[in-house]
Amino acid sequence: MPHRGLAELSEPLAWAEPYRTKMVEAIPMTTREERKRFIAAAGYNPFRLRADQVSIDLLTDSGTAAMSDTQWSALMQGDESYAGSRSFARLQEAVAEVLGFPYVLPTHQGRAAENVLFHTLVQPGQIVPNNMHFDTTKAHVHNRRARPVNLVIPEGRDPQKPHPFKGNMDVDALEALLEKEGANVALVMLTVTCNNNGGQPVSMENIRSVSRVARRHGVPLFLDAARFAENAYFIKQREPGYRDVPLCDIVREMMGYADGCTMSAKKDGLVNIGGFVAFRDEELYRRASQFGILYEGFLTYGGLSGRDMEALAAGLREVLDEHYLAARTGQVRYLWEQLDALGIPLVTPVGGHGVYVDAGRFLPHFRHDDFPGWALSVALYEEAGVRACEIGTVLAGRNPETGEHDYPEQELLRLAIPRRVYSYRHMDVVAEGLRRVWQRREELPAYRFVYEPPVLRHFTATFAPEPIAAPASRSTHPAG
Ligand SMILES: Cc1ncc(COP(=O)(O)O)c(C=O)c1O
């Protein structure tokens, strides 16, 4: 029998993925002993592993999707003209049709879109509120010498609290911030879905209210739209009044409340590289164009080749296929249900692009600076060859003013599931690997930095394991 979510569907055909395999890629098979050697040689940093040392790669859902035959054939249509590329026109049409924004600047990926937008709108000393900044967004706000503020609702800060839209922004807190600091707020952002607290969606009602408040204060609202389609699917599933609304209309309504968006197309663009920043207002687009040209490239290619733009134009339309989104969110839910049945603490409810293990509760004897999510990621790799990503203290980095760790509200391990890549059986392997780590959780070591880079440290840092010390000698910041 299929899992609970699928069993609810009356049409058996809806139990299966709405695509079949045309090409396969061999998965590297390794032994436990080899994996222990590989991760030690990588300085206990999963980002430093070679991909051929990893069997099931859940490090990220970013840029890891399998493209469709439609996208692969669109690649061949790429127009590589420097100026006025036909492929740019097709991308522009797709962005206008799917998202409703008439002006678009292609960029090489999402953080480049942030760079262009923030150079346009953010001045040193200003504030940028977001439901929860993704790490590159936060780093780019800091890069403009401005201050990122997270205003997610209290439920969104507690992994265990059930709420259908834990990505929502606290509208009263936004109102209070704008009352106090109005002129100093550069723009408001909403990340849909909210990556850092579990791929949790933002409701339409919340987007509407945030937009109303931002407009009243004359501050632009931009969506970080990396996972706009998954967010729209959750609105359809969970928000009263949207069950019978077509997904394309839900997306247009979401975007209709915003002045534009940044997009990492490596997620819901279903491509392996790409991004853009899109605008409703021509004047803002013109201002941003200067930075697009300076940092990315001419207006009609930005950081992308013509063929990249073709694949992205196709991906933006494909991602709104309801059968695809049912299969996509269904697979994530399948893994979530297996782990939940084992009693493993998870971010609840399940989010859109992965399962988030509550590492703080998995390892309640760890403190934040023992790096519980990191310890879990190393253990899961050693156990089952599965690579996952810490979303906790290591990723959060240091406060640039105090130099202290910027302790996050949650210590998580993210099992991000690439789109259209792995099967249900692969999910079984992940669940079994984590079950075995759960059984020996009291033996896991903490990790300490050997090399700590100053910016986006998680990518290149190296670590050493260290047995957990006696509670009294540990930091005063419990992670659980
Ligand atoms: C919500 C969100 N915004 C922005 C980004 C940055 O995008 P990119 O990795 O394409 O630079 C990411 C990447 O994971 C993300 O999840």
pLDDT band at 399 (very low <50, low <70, confident <90, very high): confident
CA–CA–CA angle 154, 226, 107 (5° rounding): 135
CB of 231 within 6 A of ligand 1: the answer is no
Q: What is the pLDDT of residue 163?
A: 97
Asked whether residue 480 carries a pLDDT value surpassing 70, the answer given is no
Question: Which one, of 113, 55, 137, 87, lies nearest residue 388 by Cα?
Answer: 55
**Range scoring the smallest mean pLDDT among 2-6, 428-432, 459-463:** 2-6
Closest CA to 414 of 319, 475, 339: 339
Ligand 1 proximity of 351 Cβ (cutoff 6 Å): no
Catalogue the active-site residues.
Answer: 82, 134-135, 224, 226, 267, 458
Q: How confident is the model at residue 14 (pLDDT cuts 50, 70, 90)?
A: confident
What is the mean predicted confidence (pLDDT) over 395-402? 86
* Mean pLDDT within 127-154: 96
Listed by start position, the domains of the chain span 4-61+322-473, 69-318
- 232-133-114-321 Cα dihedral, nearest 10 degrees: -20
Q: Which two tokens stand for residue 17?
A: 């993925």
Give pLDDT, residue 469: 67
pLDDT surpassing 90 at residue 103: yes
Which three-class secondary structure state does DSSP give residue 326?
Answer: helix
The answer to whether the bond into 193 is cis (omega within 30° of 0) is yes
Higher pLDDT, 471 or 112: 112
Q: What is the mean pLDDT of residues 403-407?
A: 88
Q: Do domains 4-61+322-473 and 69-318 have the same CATH topology?
A: no
Average confidence (pLDDT) over 71-98: 98
- CATH number of the domain at 69-318, please? 3.40.640.10
pLDDT per position as a tens digit, 247-293: 999 999 999 999 999 999 999 999 999 999 999 999 999 999 999 99
Work out the average pLDDT over 404-433: 94
| Alpha carbons 320 and 243: distance in angstroms, whole number | 15
Kindly give the distance from the C-alpha atom of residue 65 to the centroid of ligand 1, in angstroms, as a whole number.
14
pLDDT of residue 407: 87
Determine contact, residues 262/77, Cβ cutoff 8 Å. Answer: no
Q: For the segment 313-361, what is each residue's pLDDT rounded down to a tens digit?
A: 999 999 999 999 999 999 999 999 999 999 999 999 999 999 999 999 9
The rounded Å distance from CA 13 to ligand 1 centre is 33
Q: Which two tokens stand for residue 414?
A: 């993210």
Q: Are 190 and 257 in contact (CB under 8 A)?
A: no
Q: How much is the pLDDT for 473?
A: 46
Percent of the chain with pLDDT over 90: 89
Q: If pLDDT is split at 50, 70 and 90, which confidence band does 409 have? A: confident
Architecture of domain 4-61+322-473: Alpha-Beta Complex (3.90)
- Token representation of residue 297: 């490239």
- Between CA 224 and CA 109 the distance in angstroms is 12
Q: Are 199 and 354 in contact (CB under 8 A)?
A: yes
Ligand 1: which of 115, 132, 194, 267 to mutate, most ligand atoms within 8 Å of CB? Answer: 267
Pocket probe mutation, ligand 1, options 59, 61, 136, max atoms within 8 Å of Cβ:
136
Q: Give the tens place of pLDDT for each residue, 161-188.
A: 999 999 999 999 999 999 999 899 999 9
pLDDT category of residue 477 using cuts at 50, 70 and 90:
low
Mutate to test the pocket of ligand 1, among 195, 295, 389 (most ligand atoms within 8 A of CB): 195
pLDDT score recorded for residue 15:
79
Q: What is the mean pLDDT of the chain?
A: 94
Q: What pLDDT band is residue 472 in, cutting at 50, 70 and 90? A: very low
Check pocket membership of 228 for ligand 1, CB cut-off 6 A. Answer: no
Ligand 1 pocket check for 275: Cβ under 6 Å? yes
pLDDT one-digit tens code per residue, 54-64:
999 999 999 99
- Model confidence at 22: pLDDT above 90: yes
Q: List, for residues 190-240, the tens digit of each pLDDT value.
A: 999 999 889 999 999 999 999 999 999 999 999 999 999 999 999 999 999
**Contact indicator for 223, 99 with CB cutoff of 8 Å:** no
Cβ of 268 closer than 6 Å to ligand 1, yes or no, is: no
168 lines ligand 1 (CB under 6 A): no
Q: Read off the pLDDT of each residue in 439-454 and give the average, rounded to a whole number.
A: 96
Band (pLDDT 50/70/90 cuts) for residue 9 is low
Residue 408's pLDDT is 86
How high is the pLDDT of residue 410? 86
Mean pLDDT of 417-433: 97
Question: Sorting pLDDT into bands at 50, 70 and 90, what band is 470?
Answer: low
Residues 6+ apart with CB under 8 A from 137: 111, 114, 130, 148, 189, 191, 224
